[in-house]
């Protein structure tokens, strides 16, 4: 009788284990899926060894200040939205003007539908000349112009500066073009970014180069600026964590035309492949010099290679190069095709990735104004609530925000074939 009594609790424990084990497995999977920035677990710092003591960026930063009680003005004749972008006097001016064109097209279409309650939307453009203080001053000017939100900018340093001024002015900021992974890590609850960052691009490149293609030794030649430093940092760390440390990381300056000294060091490092990270012109020049020097390594590149400038500069040498891109311009999305046609009709050129994301960002901004009314705090609430625009379907595809308001949507691989880019979805998955 005693044995039977002991048997029953044992049996209950076994049954409980059978029932609970799948639940624990599900919880473990949920923890794994909760990695910040869509980071694969094998690429987390110490992710293969132990959990962190504290995890950041899993919960959005709250804004508990005043402002929601403010009534909209009654004497407006237009609804202003600012734009900060490199428009002239800057190496990124071509991309900045694409930003302006994309935002303008979205605004013109909205005005053709009636604007905001009969009032026209108006863009207040401001030039980002690449200087910290100047960027801050331009945001202050937009505040003086009484904009309800602003879009911008591309330069990562100036994006950080503009964001801090936006915090002081309590002015919603929608970033559509800066891929700096640290931008949203400020935790400032007055911005969203609707463009995938260099963290996502780095994971895609690490997976493609090391896992899918099976290469081991990567040498990096990067721009000596924040875009090159922070972008390559994410690639370097992710590659190291899957067992492939860089064999070389070497720099060059924007505007350089002779890269022979750096390329000799690349050759001496005996890499399997070379990764370039910088602006389109310099990457094209580097590629040409590599081929002139007989360096036939496979070459991969950062997202700014997806540009007519790169194709024109590198010519036939560009064939076979693989880069990342934050959207697929060949996607079968009717709204994207209409945008491309309308953009070319309106501006006489094909839109680029900056134009497409600016178009989506402007539409998000105007929709938030329609929903919230003319109140900055309420506009901010809608943009950052992780519900209203979660899964927003733009012309660039589905926009997915994490808890730091960073877009962690799809990243695409772009391979040059016969002088043009061919796009395919990156093979890495968030497991």
Residue ranges of domains in the chain, CATH in brackets: 79-196+332-399 (3.40.50.2300), 199-325+413-425 (3.40.50.2300)
- Give the DSSP letter of residue 209: I
Instruction: Give 227-249 pLDDT, tens digit per residue.
Output: 999 999 999 999 999 999 999 99
**What is the Cα Rg of the chain in Å?**
24
Mean per-residue pLDDT, 171-194? 95
pLDDT at residue 428 in the model: 65
Whole-number mean pLDDT of the chain?
90
What was the pLDDT predicted at 24?
A: 40
- Say if residue 63 is exposed, middle or buried (CB neighbours under 10 Å; 0-12, 13-18, 19+): middle
Give the pLDDT band of residue 2 (cuts 50, 70, 90). Answer: very low
DSSP H helices in 185-296: 198-206, 226-241, 260-268, 280-292
pLDDT at 49 over 90: no
For the stretch 107-134, pLDDT in tens is: 999 999 999 999 999 999 999 987 878 8
By the 8 A CB rule, do 138 and 125 touch? no
The reported pTM is 0.89
pLDDT value at residue 8: 52
The region of weakest confidence among 48-52, 128-132, 153-157 is: 48-52
CA distance 152 to 126: 10
């Amino acid at each position: 009788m005693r044995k039977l009594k002991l048997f029953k609790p044992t049996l209950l424990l076994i049954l409980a284990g059978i029932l609970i084990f799948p639940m624990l497995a599900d919880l473990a999977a949920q923890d794994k899926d909760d990695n910040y920035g869509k980071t694969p677990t094998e690429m987390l710092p110490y992710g293969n060894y132990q959990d962190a003591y504290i995890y950041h960026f899993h919960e959005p930063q709250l804004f508990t200040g005043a402002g929601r009680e403010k009534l909209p003005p009654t004497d407006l004749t237009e609804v202003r939205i600012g734009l900060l972008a490199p428009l002239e006097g800057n190496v990124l001016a071509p991309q900045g003007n694409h930003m302006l064109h994309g935002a303008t097209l979205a605004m013109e279409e909205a005005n053709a539908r009636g604007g905001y309650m009969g009032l026209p939307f108006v863009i207040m453009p401001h030039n980002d000349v690449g200087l910290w203080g100047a960027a801050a001053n331009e945001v202050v000017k937009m505040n003086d112009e009484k904009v309800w939100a602003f879009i911008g900018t591309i330069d990562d340093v100036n994006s950080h500066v503009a964001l801090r001024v936006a915090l002081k002015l309590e002015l919603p900021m929608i970033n559509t073009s800066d891929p700096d992974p640290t931008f949203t890590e400020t935790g400032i609850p007055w911005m969203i970014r609707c463009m995938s960052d260099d963290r996502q691009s780095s994971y895609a490149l690490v997976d493609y180069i090391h896992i899918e293609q099976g290469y081991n030794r990567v040498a990096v030649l990067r721009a000596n600026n924040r875009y090159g430093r922070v972008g390559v940092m994410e690639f370097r760390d992710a590659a190291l964590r899957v067992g492939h440390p860089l064999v070389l990381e070497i720099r060059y300056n924007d505007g350089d035309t002779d890269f022979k000294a750096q390329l000799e060091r690349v050759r001496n490092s005996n890499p399997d492949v070379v990764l370039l990270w910088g602006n389109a012109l310099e990457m094209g020049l580097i590629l040409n010099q590599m081929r002139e020097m007989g360096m036939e390594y496979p070459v991969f590149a950062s997202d700014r290679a997806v540009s007519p400038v790169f194709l024109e500069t590198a010519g036939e040498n560009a064939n076979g190069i693989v880069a990342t891109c934050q959207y697929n311009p060949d996607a079968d999305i009717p709204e994207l095709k209409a945008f491309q046609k309308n953009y070319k009709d309106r501006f006489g050129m094909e839109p680029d990735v900056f134009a497409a994301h600016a178009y989506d960002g402007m539409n998000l901004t105007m929709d938030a104004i329609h929903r919230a009314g003319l109140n900055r705090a309420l506009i901010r609430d809608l943009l950052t609530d992780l519900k209203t625009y979660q899964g927003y379907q733009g012309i660039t595809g589905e926009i997915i925000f994490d808890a730091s308001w960073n877009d962690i949507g799809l990243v695409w691989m772009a391979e040059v074939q016969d002088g043009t880019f061919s796009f395919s979805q990156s093979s890495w998955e968030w497991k």
